[in-house]
Chain A
Amino acid sequence: MRPALLLLGLALAPLPALSQADAPPRSAQQRVGEATSDSHGFVSATRFGQRDGGALYAAICAGCHMPNGRGAVGAGAYPALAGNEKLEHTAYPVGVVLHGRHGMPGFATQLDDAQVAAVVNWVRTNLGNAYAEDPATPEEVRAARP
């Protein structure tokens, strides 16, 4: 279960993973071999490939917040994103997606600015949320990065 580990494969590679900077875009090589997956899913061990907000939600957020956005309750809970007033302004969801919150990991190194904006805007305008005004922009996301 330990995520942290054996990255010797990168020993001879440049060091993007150690910097806070955006990792480079996926190479063409990483796109090969995805015949059995949806067009942009499962493309890399370090980056998400989906560009569309709904696809990003389905691939990432739905794991905890559930496909219907209603969250889940166990020993702890995943909050519902459906009908969630904290989504009214972009700053909060952009910050949470980038930096995480409590037990939720941040995705700053796994999503680029446009992807973060796309998924935030999708959540703000779906799942019973109707915050279409002042959508998040890649520029806003960039400014919110560490």
Chain B
Amino acid sequence: MAEQPGPEQSPSRRALLARIGAVAGGAAMYQAMTALGVAAESAYAGPVKLEGDARGASVLVLGAGVAGMVAAMELRKAGYRVQVLEYSDRPGGRCWSLRGGDRYTELGGETQTVGFDHGLYFNPGPWRIPYNHHAVLDYCKRLGVALEPFVQVNHNAMVHGRNAFGGKPQRYRTINADYQGGIAELLAKATKQGKLDEAVGKQDQEILLESLRAWGALNTDMTYAKSVLTSDRRGFDRDPGGGLTARPVPSEPVAIKDVLSSRLWSYLVTGSLYEFQTTMFQPVGGMDMIAKAMAREVDGLIRYNAKVTEIRQDDRGVTVTLRDAQGAGGAEQVRADWCVCTIPLSILSQIEMNVGAPMAAAIRAVPYAASVKVGLQFKRRFWEQDEHIYGGISYTDLPIRMISYPSTAYGTPGKGVLLGAYAFGPYAYEFTALPAAERVKRALEWGAALHPQYKDEFDGGVSVGWHRVPGALGCNGAWTDAKRDEHYDNLCALDGRIVLAGEHASYIPAWQEGAILSSLDAISRLHRRVVSA
């Protein structure tokens, strides 16, 4: 769901991969990616088949997020008696959309009332689905959740740096064309000067030059310069037209040294990554359409406002102690033969639970990342009307990090809601620590550097800092490779009568695909245990 494009990043597996790619080339990067488990095809092999007799066994599912509801749905289908306990008053967990009239109270007690117009929404959590997240897409298909394209790359959106081009936002299109053209010209020059003779044979050099010309839009003299050819990539000063105003006016490319020093090239890569490649999808009407469809499927099984305070297993079953999440009433106990626990580790690490030492250590080992999103409503869709930006994402090195325009309802009159900030790391902590209204105010101030219309057109906003979400206490499990080596298998293994599931028990952290695949894997192992007993 998340990305951290551009300069000033924190360390990650992906950073490592990027460097491998930069240093050793694509093949080496792909090899490394496969080794790290990111490039291989999805582990999803179609609807799960839980064959064999469950003999009326009962399962308690903790958490009605995507992982929990998938477990409930499939286990019930396989003949289990299922009950789901959910802390909050709605299904979905982090699969969540905010709409006009919704009230959201964060930890600390501040309540925001969403003032969006009818039909407008904002997804504080997951918001896009890669084409290779086969499990999510299959559940959407099976549950009748309508999808539409999510625009990730928009060539007419902006890339912006405080110190790039005097702080003036640039079109993705022009930076992309000029970066590529500039690199092609440099490589062509080096080739012609014989500097690549050792790496590329003479015959292949001809092909290389031909390909550089095509790839970079080089002119016949192998330069990347102002022309109709290059403007066909970067856009014209005046577009081709009809009649007497037909003649196009080419635009002047930016010199490669200026593109490089601007560092705006760093925003060009995202859309090439496996998880962000075209086609991406979103559910029509908001990400929580998935949650709602799943909740319909497990209708009657979910008990809301149930705060789990203790999980205790013995030889014959699992007893879960719960309290009303609003604080009313005393403790209560629920019992089942088995337990699928999808409670985020940020919370589970605080719940008394008798599992073995390896799983207990794993539960305590994973910190939860900071992330913040701000949704902004404007009086009109000025990004479309004034700037011809239809969906997609503008990137910036400002603390908001990006602005994403709605990939739906293009050209409609009336108000529009966009994603006005999506930050991680220090910026996310700093946003989270602010009062909600102040987060919105900052997002407006920073976003105005890309869109001056912000000031006049602003109509209201809502912000979600994930560390303050009462049922999550953080955005996602922030694994490191070292922690995975030590704890991951122990976290996922069936411990007596308890198995864990969720994005934290996957190699696709913070994506719904990880939650679903983890859940399917967990219940398959649980079921094998049950039928072989």
A75 / chain B contacts, CB cutoff of 8 Å: 87-88, 307-308, 325, 343, 347, 470-473
A91 within 8 A of B: no
Name the distance in Å between B211's Cβ and chain A's nearest Cβ: 22
> Quick one: which of B469-516 are within 8 Å of A by CB?
469-476, 478, 509-511
Q: Is A106 a contact partner of B263 (Cβ separation < 8 A)?
A: no
A143 within 8 A of B: no
Q: Is A44 a contact partner of B15 (Cβ separation < 8 A)?
A: no
Q: Is A45 a contact partner of B401 (Cβ separation < 8 A)?
A: yes
Take A59-B430, A64-B467, A105-B370 as given contacts and tell me if A8 and B269 are in contact as well, using a CB distance cutoff of 8 Å.
yes
B6 within 8 A of A: yes
B77 within 8 A of A: no
> Quick one: which of A27-42 are within 8 Å of B by CB?
29-30, 32-33, 36-37, 41-42
Main SS of the interface on chain B?
A: loop
B381 within 8 A of A: no
Take A33-B398, A78-B473 as given contacts and tell me if A44 and B1 are in contact as well, using a CB distance cutoff of 8 Å.
no
Which of B371, B430, B469 has the most chain A CB atoms closer than 10 A to its own CB? B430
B126 within 8 A of A: yes
B340 within 8 A of A: no
Bound together, the chains give a CA A2 to CA B514 distance in angstroms of 12
Main SS of the interface on chain A?
A: loop
A106 / chain B contacts, CB cutoff of 8 Å: 367
Which chain A residue lies CB-closest to B307? A75
Q: Is A10 a contact partner of B473 (Cβ separation < 8 A)?
A: no
B202 within 8 A of A: no
B429 within 8 A of A: yes
Q: Is A60 a contact partner of B478 (Cβ separation < 8 A)?
A: no
A15 / chain B contacts, CB cutoff of 8 Å: 19
Bound together, the chains give a CA A130 to CA B371 distance in angstroms of 33
Q: Is A45 a contact partner of B107 (Cβ separation < 8 A)?
A: no
A109 / chain B contacts, CB cutoff of 8 Å: 10-11
> Quick one: which of B1-21 are within 8 Å of A by CB?
1-16, 18-19, 21
Bound together, the chains give a CA A11 to CA B269 distance in angstroms of 11
Q: Is B14 a contact partner of A6 (Cβ separation < 8 A)?
A: yes
B107 / chain A contacts, CB cutoff of 8 Å: 64, 66, 72-74, 78
Bound together, the chains give a CA A44 to CA B167 distance in angstroms of 16
Name the distance in Å between B83's Cβ and chain A's nearest Cβ: 18
B242 within 8 A of A: no
Interface size class of A (residues with CB under 8 A): 35 or more
A64 / chain B contacts, CB cutoff of 8 Å: 107, 432, 467-468, 473
B474 / chain A contacts, CB cutoff of 8 Å: 103
Take A10-B18, A46-B426 as given contacts and tell me if A5 and B4 are in contact as well, using a CB distance cutoff of 8 Å.
yes
Which chain B residue lies CB-closest to A104? B367
B368 within 8 A of A: yes
Q: Is A1 a contact partner of B18 (Cβ separation < 8 A)?
A: no
A11 / chain B contacts, CB cutoff of 8 Å: 18-19, 21-22
> Quick one: which of A5-59 are within 8 Å of B by CB?
5-12, 15, 17-18, 29-30, 32-33, 36-37, 41-42, 44-48, 58-59
Cβ 8 A contact of B162, one of A1, A2, A32, A102: A32
Q: How many residues of B contact A (CB 8 A)?
A: 88
Cβ 8 A contact of B425, one of A12, A66, A78, A110: A110
Q: Is A3 a contact partner of B4 (Cβ separation < 8 A)?
A: yes
Q: Could you give, for residues 61-102 of chain A, a 1 whenever the CB lies within 8 Å of some chain B CB and a 0 otherwise?
A: 111101100001111111000000000000000000000101
Q: Is B475 a contact partner of A103 (Cβ separation < 8 A)?
A: no
Which chain A residue lies CB-closest to B9? A7
Which chain B residue lies CB-closest to A43? B426
A12 / chain B contacts, CB cutoff of 8 Å: 22
Which of B370, B423, B475 has the most chain A CB atoms closer than 10 A to its own CB? B370
Cβ 8 A contact of A105, one of B162, B364, B368, B397: B368
Q: Is B4 a contact partner of A30 (Cβ separation < 8 A)?
A: no
Name the distance in Å between A33's Cβ and chain B's nearest Cβ: 4
B42 within 8 A of A: no
Selected A-B contacts with CB under 8 Å, 18 pairs = A1-B94, A3-B12, A3-B370, A4-B509, A5-B9, A7-B10, A7-B18, A9-B7, A9-B9, A17-B10, A18-B11, A33-B163, A36-B446, A42-B399, A61-B433, A67-B433, A76-B347, A103-B346
Which residues of A pack against B, CB within 8 Å? 1-12, 15, 17-18, 29-30, 32-33, 36-37, 41-42, 44-48, 58-64, 66-67, 72-78, 100, 102-106, 109-110
The 10 closest A-B pairs by CB, nearest first: A74-B470, A9-B266, A103-B346, A2-B510, A76-B347, A33-B162, A2-B2, A7-B15, A7-B9, A11-B22
Known: A7-B11, A62-B433, A104-B368. 15 other contacts (CB 8 A): A1-B510, A2-B1, A3-B12, A5-B9, A7-B4, A7-B15, A9-B9, A30-B8, A44-B426, A45-B7, A64-B468, A74-B107, A75-B87, A76-B349, A105-B368
